[in-house]
Amino acid sequence: EAQVTQNPRYLITVTGKKLTVTCSQNMNHEYMSWYRQDPGLGLRQIYYSMNVEVTDKGDVPEGYKVSRKEKRNFPLILESPSPNQTSLYFCASSQEVDRGVGGELFFGEGSRLTVL
């Protein structure tokens, strides 16, 4: 089954304790991206990756890091989480974003993060 898998799905942590949210896709997609979703603010892009070893900042990259060492994986790293990073996070992937067709995103189920 084609899917984007995120882990953990739920996490409660404390300020300053480093954490990683993993994302893996099995569709051989070149493009992957991270979003956060907050009430009243919609989906906002954090980072994206057009291909292996290529990453770029989205609209709200502060406080986050990413890496793309393999095509299927795109982990989101919070080096020193703060309460304002409490949110619902989504990973997404897509095929051939940089060409004339495609671009539709396939989303994971989401990771709900609470930072105390």
Instruction: List interacting residues with another protein (CB under 8 A).
Output: 4, 31, 33, 35, 40-45, 48, 50, 56, 58-59, 90, 92, 97-98, 103-110
Q: Which two tokens stand for residue 108?
A: 């994971």
Q: Which is nearer to another protein, 85 or 90 (CB)?
A: 90
Min separation Cβ 69 and another protein, Å: 18
Q: Which is nearer to another protein, 69 or 99 (CB)?
A: 99
Q: Which is nearer to another protein, 15 or 24 (CB)?
A: 24
Per-residue three-class SS string for 4-24:
EEEECCEEEECCCCCEEEEEE
Min separation Cβ 77 and another protein, Å: 19
Rounded to 5 degrees, φ, ψ at 85 are -95, 5
Q: Which is nearer to another protein, 37 or 79 (CB)?
A: 37
